[in-house]
């Protein structure tokens, strides 16, 4: 079946604008994760959703970042008033559940460049 | 807090073995993973090991875990040019889902 997909694959925006990044997880996966990969910071956890539970937002770097997951499937990560330091690759992953050794399958990422 | 450390770069000749090392600090880590990232691509799971194991072998890949020293290694036998990539180790505690990643090791395979 299809893997995790993300859109857009690339996004260039001006400082101060809002952006929305989309993630379509693997069908049937209840857990969905967002990570950010930037130069000098490696891969950092942002937020994750598990079923109907409240999301774990502990990794969001500021209140300009928010995410939602509609209908337990598609997720959107929104960055308001983008800053140049937001430039990074935003990776989404999904897994059957969040516990045990359940493998997280990653999408190809959205490359965000803030000018 | 949790921290995962890896060496940043490894150069290896084609046909030799590669060994990528990783140390972690979270003693509650239950699962440890190795992911591979090729240029312009997402992360691909290579293998994982449960914390009560000390070795796992999967074809050309051997994972060694020293839980006492919190040291994890990935050995790639007969390294090929297609193995050139960035390799990430990651740890996960059983009680929550997020992965804590290392900074990644860039492996360059030379002919």
Stretch B71-100: mean pLDDT: 89
Taking alpha carbons only, the member of B87, B106, B98 closest to residue B31 is B98
Q: How far apart are CA A60 and CA A105, in angstroms?
A: 21
| Grouped pLDDT means (10 residues each) for chain A, 115 residues | 90 97 93 89 87 88 94 93 96 82 88 96
A115: Cβ–Cβ under 8 A, 6 or more apart, which residues?
Answer: A12, A13, A14, A15, A84
Q: How far apart are CA A26 and CA A1, in angstroms?
A: 8
Considering only CA atoms, give the Rg of chain B.
Answer: 13
pLDDT score of B1 = 44
B111: Cβ–Cβ under 8 A, 6 or more apart, which residues?
Answer: B13, B14, B81
B96 lies within 8 A of chain A by CB:
yes
B97 lies within 8 A of chain A by CB:
yes
pLDDT of B71 higher than 90: yes
Q: Is A6 exposed, middle or buried (0-12, 13-18, 19+ CB in 10 A)?
A: buried
pLDDT score of B9 = 94
Q: How far apart are CA B16 and CA A50, in angstroms?
A: 42
pLDDT score of B17 = 96
Stretch B1-11: mean pLDDT: 83
pLDDT score of A1 = 55
Question: Is the Cα torsion angle B52, A55, A109, B105 positive or negative in sign?
Answer: negative
pLDDT score of A99 = 65
Q: Judged by CB atoms within 8 Å, which residues 38-97 of A form the interface with B?
A: 42-45, 48, 50, 56, 59, 91, 93, 95, 97
With CB atoms and an 8 Å threshold, state whether B41 touches A108.
yes
Exposure class string for B14-24: b at 16+ Cβ within 10 A, else e:
eeeebebbbbb
Could you report the per-residue pLDDT of B19-62, keeping only the tens digit for each?
999 998 877 778 899 999 998 788 999 999 988 889 999 999 99
């Amino acid at each position: 079946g299809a893997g995790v997909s993300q859109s857009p694959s690339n996004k260039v925006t001006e400082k101060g604008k809002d952006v929305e990044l989309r993630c379509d997880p693997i069908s049937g996966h209840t857990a969905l994760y967002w990570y950010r990969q930037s130069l000098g910071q490696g891969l950092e956890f942002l937020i994750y959703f598990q079923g109907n539970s409240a999301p774990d937002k502990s990794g969001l770097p500021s209140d300009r970042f928010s995410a939602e997951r509609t209908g337990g499937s598609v997720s959107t990560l929104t960055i308001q008033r983008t800053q140049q330091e937001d430039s990074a690759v935003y990776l989404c992953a999904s897994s059957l559940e969040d516990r045990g050794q359940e493998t997280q399958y990653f999408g190809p990422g959205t490359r965000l460049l803030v000018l | 807090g949790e921290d995962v450390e890896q060496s940043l770069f490894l150069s290896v000749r084609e046909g030799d073995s590669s060994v990528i090392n990783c140390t972690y600090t979270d003693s509650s880590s239950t699962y440890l993973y190795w992911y591979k990232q090729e240029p312009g691509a997402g992360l691909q799971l290579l293998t994982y090991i449960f914390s009560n194991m000390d070795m796992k072998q999967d074809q050309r890949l051997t994972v060694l875990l020293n839980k006492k020293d919190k040291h994890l290694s990935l050995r790639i036998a007969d390294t090929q040019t297609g193995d050139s990539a960035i390799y990430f180790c990651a740890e996960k505690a059983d009680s929550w889902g997020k992965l804590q990643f290392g900074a990644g090791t860039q492996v360059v395979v030379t002919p």
